[in-house]
Structure 1
Amino acid sequence: MSEKEKKRFHEMADKDKKRYETEMKGYTPSENDKSKRGKKRKQIKDPNAPKRSLSAFFWFCSDERGKVKEANPEYTVRDIAKELGRRWSDADPSIKSKYEEIADKDKARYDRVSSV
């Protein structure tokens, strides 16, 4: 753009800036507006709320994690998680059904407690 073309836009910006400043002189934020400004606050969780139910995989992991860690003490958390995932995918359907029953019972517990 040439300077002549830019001048028109600079004048418009200056005019709008003056309008904004005059409007802001008489502005006082209400009490409700102050609470909305800034960082949103994290909602506080109820410490007495029931814990969510665990899936069959997590019940399996809680039983197997100690065994994996004992057999491989050099494993990191990531390596342990990978091994648990591999073991879960290779597990017999009878083993999986055992943990799925536990998960179903836990889900029923959570539904019963949370609906009260």
Structure 2
Amino acid sequence: MKIQNDSNKPIYIQIAEWLEAEILAGSFKVDDKVYSQYQLAEMFTINPATAAKGLTMLVDERILYKRRGLGMFVSSEAKEMILNKRKSNTLVKLVKDLVQEANRLDVKEEELILMIKREKEE
């Protein structure tokens, strides 16, 4: 992954989302130790404090947990929490935008549902 310095999304959020994607992909499993702030800083050529902020965000969300003196580890509920978060944040926004656009284009509910079903079948 490449950090996008010109993105509207803060770097620490990009780091957190990258770690979430790694957890979802199975690169990190329950109780696995994740990269330290210094390893992340080196990997992405960013300030260690920025990397720490991304890690802290995931600790605050209980996706990671700290072991004093040992580092940060993947929590047992991490995958489920990430999936739920992404569903509620990403999909809800996409659906809302889709429905608004369908309304602007005068697409009826039944037609929109058929379009979604067809797309899902592919």
The structure showing larger relative contact order (alpha-carbon pairs under 8 Å, at least 6 residues apart) is 1
Return the index of the structure with the highest Cα Rg: 1
Q: TM-score by structure 1 length?
A: 0.21
**More strand as a share of residues:** 2
**More helix as a share of residues:** 1
